[in-house]
Protein backbone atom coordinates (compact mmCIF):
# COMPACT_ATOMS: atom_id res chain seq x y z
CA UNK A 1 0.00 0.00 0.00
CA UNK A 2 0.97 3.61 -0.40
CA UNK A 3 0.45 4.70 3.17
CA UNK A 4 1.40 3.68 6.70
CA UNK A 5 -0.55 0.59 7.66
CA UNK A 6 -1.35 -0.37 11.23
CA UNK A 7 -2.96 -3.50 12.57
CA UNK A 8 -5.20 -4.34 14.19
CA UNK A 9 -7.39 -1.27 13.86
CA UNK A 10 -9.10 -2.13 17.13
CA UNK A 11 -7.99 -4.32 20.02
CA UNK A 12 -9.87 -5.15 23.18
CA UNK A 13 -7.86 -7.02 25.79
CA UNK A 14 -8.22 -8.01 29.38
CA UNK A 15 -6.18 -6.33 32.06
CA UNK A 16 -2.92 -8.17 32.59
CA UNK A 17 -2.69 -9.59 29.09
CA UNK A 18 0.10 -8.77 26.63
CA UNK A 19 -0.66 -7.10 23.30
CA UNK A 20 1.29 -6.55 20.09
CA UNK A 21 0.57 -3.70 17.72
CA UNK A 22 2.00 -3.70 14.23
CA UNK A 23 3.12 -0.91 11.92
CA UNK A 24 4.09 -1.18 8.26
CA UNK A 25 5.74 2.10 7.27
CA UNK A 26 5.86 3.56 3.80
CA UNK A 27 8.41 1.69 1.71
CA UNK A 28 11.78 3.42 1.77
CA UNK A 29 11.07 5.50 4.86
CA UNK A 30 13.96 5.12 7.25
CA UNK A 31 12.46 6.89 10.26
CA UNK A 32 9.59 5.38 12.24
CA UNK A 33 7.82 6.81 15.26
CA UNK A 34 5.23 5.55 17.70
CA UNK A 35 2.87 7.97 19.44
CA UNK A 36 0.03 7.45 21.90
CA UNK A 37 -3.15 9.50 21.77
CA UNK A 38 -5.36 9.39 24.82
CA UNK A 39 -8.95 10.60 24.66
CA UNK A 40 -9.04 14.37 24.28
CA UNK A 41 -5.29 14.63 24.54
CA UNK A 42 -2.47 15.40 22.18
CA UNK A 43 -0.02 12.91 20.82
CA UNK A 44 2.53 11.57 23.27
CA UNK A 45 5.86 10.47 21.81
CA UNK A 46 6.81 6.91 22.70
CA UNK A 47 9.74 5.67 20.64
CA UNK A 48 11.65 6.43 17.46
CA UNK A 49 13.67 4.27 15.06
CA UNK A 50 16.13 5.57 12.48
CA UNK A 51 17.66 3.05 10.13
CA UNK A 52 19.97 0.67 11.97
CA UNK A 53 20.71 3.06 14.82
CA UNK A 54 19.73 2.30 18.40
CA UNK A 55 16.14 3.42 18.98
CA UNK A 56 15.27 6.45 21.08
CA UNK A 57 13.14 4.97 23.85
CA UNK A 58 12.92 8.13 25.92
CA UNK A 59 9.14 8.39 25.63
CA UNK A 60 8.20 4.90 26.76
CA UNK A 61 6.08 5.32 29.92
CA UNK A 62 7.19 2.15 31.68
CA UNK A 63 9.22 -1.01 31.23
CA UNK A 64 6.03 -2.80 30.22
CA UNK A 65 6.35 -1.07 26.87
CA UNK A 66 8.84 -2.20 24.24
CA UNK A 67 9.20 -1.98 20.51
CA UNK A 68 11.30 -3.47 17.79
CA UNK A 69 11.79 -2.87 14.14
CA UNK A 70 12.81 -5.80 12.00
CA UNK A 71 14.88 -5.34 8.86
CA UNK A 72 14.44 -1.59 9.03
CA UNK A 73 10.82 -1.92 8.00
CA UNK A 74 7.96 -3.39 10.04
CA UNK A 75 7.72 -2.37 13.67
CA UNK A 76 5.93 -4.02 16.59
CA UNK A 77 4.96 -2.23 19.78
CA UNK A 78 4.46 -4.63 22.67
CA UNK A 79 2.67 -3.81 25.89
CA UNK A 80 3.04 -6.38 28.64
CA UNK A 81 0.63 -6.86 31.52
CA UNK A 82 -1.73 -4.25 30.15
CA UNK A 83 -3.42 -1.81 32.50
CA UNK A 84 -6.59 0.20 32.02
CA UNK A 85 -4.57 3.40 31.71
CA UNK A 86 -2.94 1.91 28.59
CA UNK A 87 -6.24 2.35 26.76
CA UNK A 88 -5.59 4.82 23.94
CA UNK A 89 -5.04 5.07 20.23
CA UNK A 90 -1.52 4.08 19.26
CA UNK A 91 -0.29 5.87 16.16
CA UNK A 92 2.66 5.01 14.01
CA UNK A 93 4.32 7.47 11.65
CA UNK A 94 7.16 7.26 9.17
CA UNK A 95 9.24 9.80 7.33
CA UNK A 96 11.70 9.58 4.51
CA UNK A 97 14.68 10.56 6.60
CA UNK A 98 15.40 11.38 10.20
CA UNK A 99 13.41 14.45 11.07
CA UNK A 100 11.99 14.55 7.57
CA UNK A 101 9.73 17.49 7.06
CA UNK A 102 6.63 15.36 6.70
CA UNK A 103 5.71 12.51 8.96
CA UNK A 104 2.99 10.30 7.54
CA UNK A 105 0.68 8.72 10.08
CA UNK A 106 -1.24 5.49 9.99
CA UNK A 107 -4.81 5.50 11.20
CA UNK A 108 -3.88 3.98 14.49
CA UNK A 109 -4.78 1.05 16.67
CA UNK A 110 -7.46 1.72 19.26
CA UNK A 111 -6.56 -0.30 22.33
CA UNK A 112 -9.14 -0.87 25.03
CA UNK A 113 -8.12 -2.63 28.22
CA UNK A 114 -11.07 -3.98 30.18
CA UNK B 1 6.26 19.10 31.08
CA UNK B 2 4.04 20.26 28.26
CA UNK B 3 6.29 21.96 25.77
CA UNK B 4 3.62 23.08 23.31
CA UNK B 5 0.48 24.71 24.70
CA UNK B 6 -2.53 24.90 22.40
CA UNK B 7 -5.77 26.84 22.72
CA UNK B 8 -8.69 26.81 22.57
CA UNK B 9 -9.60 23.23 23.34
CA UNK B 10 -12.72 23.56 21.18
CA UNK B 11 -13.95 26.10 18.70
CA UNK B 12 -17.27 26.63 16.97
CA UNK B 13 -17.38 28.87 13.91
CA UNK B 14 -20.07 29.75 11.43
CA UNK B 15 -19.55 28.83 7.80
CA UNK B 16 -17.57 31.56 6.10
CA UNK B 17 -16.00 32.74 9.34
CA UNK B 18 -12.38 32.77 10.40
CA UNK B 19 -11.06 30.04 12.69
CA UNK B 20 -8.02 30.90 14.79
CA UNK B 21 -6.04 28.41 16.84
CA UNK B 22 -3.06 29.44 18.92
CA UNK B 23 0.03 27.66 20.15
CA UNK B 24 2.91 28.66 22.38
CA UNK B 25 6.19 26.89 22.97
CA UNK B 26 9.07 27.11 25.40
CA UNK B 27 11.90 25.17 23.80
CA UNK B 28 14.05 27.45 21.66
CA UNK B 29 15.56 24.35 20.01
CA UNK B 30 12.38 23.81 18.00
CA UNK B 31 13.06 24.47 14.33
CA UNK B 32 9.96 23.35 12.45
CA UNK B 33 6.31 24.00 13.25
CA UNK B 34 3.67 21.94 11.44
CA UNK B 35 -0.06 21.83 11.85
CA UNK B 36 -1.87 18.54 11.53
CA UNK B 37 -5.53 17.90 10.75
CA UNK B 38 -7.23 14.80 12.09
CA UNK B 39 -10.65 13.47 11.17
CA UNK B 40 -12.39 10.90 13.40
CA UNK B 41 -10.95 7.44 12.99
CA UNK B 42 -8.02 8.67 10.94
CA UNK B 43 -4.44 9.46 11.68
CA UNK B 44 -3.25 13.07 11.67
CA UNK B 45 -2.33 14.49 8.26
CA UNK B 46 0.05 17.36 7.62
CA UNK B 47 -1.86 20.53 6.74
CA UNK B 48 0.72 23.30 6.61
CA UNK B 49 4.10 23.98 8.21
CA UNK B 50 6.47 26.86 8.84
CA UNK B 51 10.09 27.37 9.79
CA UNK B 52 11.14 30.07 12.28
CA UNK B 53 12.90 32.20 9.67
CA UNK B 54 9.58 33.40 8.22
CA UNK B 55 6.70 35.17 9.93
CA UNK B 56 3.84 33.95 7.79
CA UNK B 57 3.00 31.16 5.37
CA UNK B 58 -0.20 30.89 3.38
CA UNK B 59 -1.59 27.93 1.51
CA UNK B 60 -5.06 28.47 0.13
CA UNK B 61 -7.42 29.26 2.99
CA UNK B 62 -4.85 28.23 5.62
CA UNK B 63 -2.28 30.64 7.06
CA UNK B 64 0.32 30.18 9.77
CA UNK B 65 1.47 33.29 11.62
CA UNK B 66 4.72 32.89 13.54
CA UNK B 67 6.12 35.18 16.23
CA UNK B 68 9.60 34.00 17.12
CA UNK B 69 10.24 36.54 19.88
CA UNK B 70 7.00 35.65 21.63
CA UNK B 71 7.45 31.95 20.88
CA UNK B 72 3.93 31.74 19.54
CA UNK B 73 2.35 30.58 16.33
CA UNK B 74 -1.20 30.37 15.11
CA UNK B 75 -3.33 28.80 12.42
CA UNK B 76 -5.92 30.89 10.63
CA UNK B 77 -8.58 29.21 8.51
CA UNK B 78 -10.28 31.74 6.28
CA UNK B 79 -13.78 31.19 4.89
CA UNK B 80 -14.22 28.17 7.17
CA UNK B 81 -16.30 25.33 5.72
CA UNK B 82 -18.18 22.45 7.37
CA UNK B 83 -15.65 20.11 5.78
CA UNK B 84 -12.95 21.78 7.89
CA UNK B 85 -14.58 20.34 11.02
CA UNK B 86 -11.83 18.22 12.54
CA UNK B 87 -9.27 18.22 15.32
CA UNK B 88 -6.24 20.37 14.68
CA UNK B 89 -2.87 19.83 16.33
CA UNK B 90 0.05 22.17 16.33
CA UNK B 91 3.46 20.60 16.69
CA UNK B 92 7.09 21.48 16.97
CA UNK B 93 10.17 19.53 16.00
CA UNK B 94 13.26 19.36 18.13
CA UNK B 95 16.49 20.20 16.34
CA UNK B 96 18.28 17.60 18.48
CA UNK B 97 19.18 14.06 17.57
CA UNK B 98 15.74 12.45 17.80
CA UNK B 99 13.86 14.99 15.75
CA UNK B 100 10.51 13.81 17.07
CA UNK B 101 7.48 16.02 16.92
CA UNK B 102 6.03 17.42 20.15
CA UNK B 103 2.31 17.98 19.81
CA UNK B 104 -0.15 20.38 21.37
CA UNK B 105 -3.26 19.00 23.03
CA UNK B 106 -5.49 19.63 20.03
CA UNK B 107 -8.42 21.86 19.10
CA UNK B 108 -11.72 20.39 18.05
CA UNK B 109 -13.12 22.68 15.37
CA UNK B 110 -16.78 22.62 14.40
CA UNK B 111 -17.91 24.72 11.47
CA UNK B 112 -21.66 25.18 11.44
CA UNK B 113 -23.42 25.17 8.05
pLDDT reported for residue B2: 54
Compute the nearest-CA separation of B63 from chain A (Å). 18
Instruction: Return the residue in A29, A33, A42 with the most chain B beta carbons within 10 A, the one to mutate for interface testing.
Output: A42
Using a CB-CB distance cutoff of 8 angstroms, which residues of chain A are in contact with residue B89? 42-43
- Tell me whether residues B46 and A58 touch, CB distance under 8 A: no
pLDDT reported for residue B98: 61
pLDDT in tens, chain A (114 residues): 579 999 999 999 999 999 999 999 999 888 899 999 987 778 999 999 988 888 889 899 999 999 999 887 899 999 999 999 999 999 999 988 755 568 899 999 999 999
Q: Which residue of B has its CA nearest to A98?
A: B99
- Compare CB distances from A102 to B6, B46, B98 and report the shortest one's residue: B46
Q: Which residue of B has its CA nearest to A104?
A: B45
Each as own residue / partner, the long-range contacts of residues B23-29 (CB below 8 Å, 24 or more positions apart, any chain) are B23/B72, B23/B73, B23/B74, B23/B75, B23/B90, B23/B104, B24/B70, B24/B71, B24/B72, B25/B71, B25/B72, B25/B73, B25/B92, B26/B71, B27/B3, B27/B92, B27/B94, B27/B102, B28/B71, B29/B94, B29/B95, B29/B96
Q: Which residue of B has its CA nearest to A5?
A: B43
Per-residue pLDDT at B1 exceeds 80:
no
For the segment B83-104, what is each residue's pLDDT rounded down to a tens digit? 999 999 999 988 775 677 889 9
pLDDT reported for residue A99: 56
Q: How far apart are CA A97 and CA B48, in angstroms?
A: 19
Amino acid sequence: GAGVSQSPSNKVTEKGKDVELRCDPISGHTALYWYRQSLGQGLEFLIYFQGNSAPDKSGLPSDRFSAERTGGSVSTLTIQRTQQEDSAVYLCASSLVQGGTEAFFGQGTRLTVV
Amino acid sequence: QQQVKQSPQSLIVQKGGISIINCAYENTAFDYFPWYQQFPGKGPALLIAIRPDVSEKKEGRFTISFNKSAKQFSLHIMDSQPGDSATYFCAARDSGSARQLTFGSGTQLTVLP
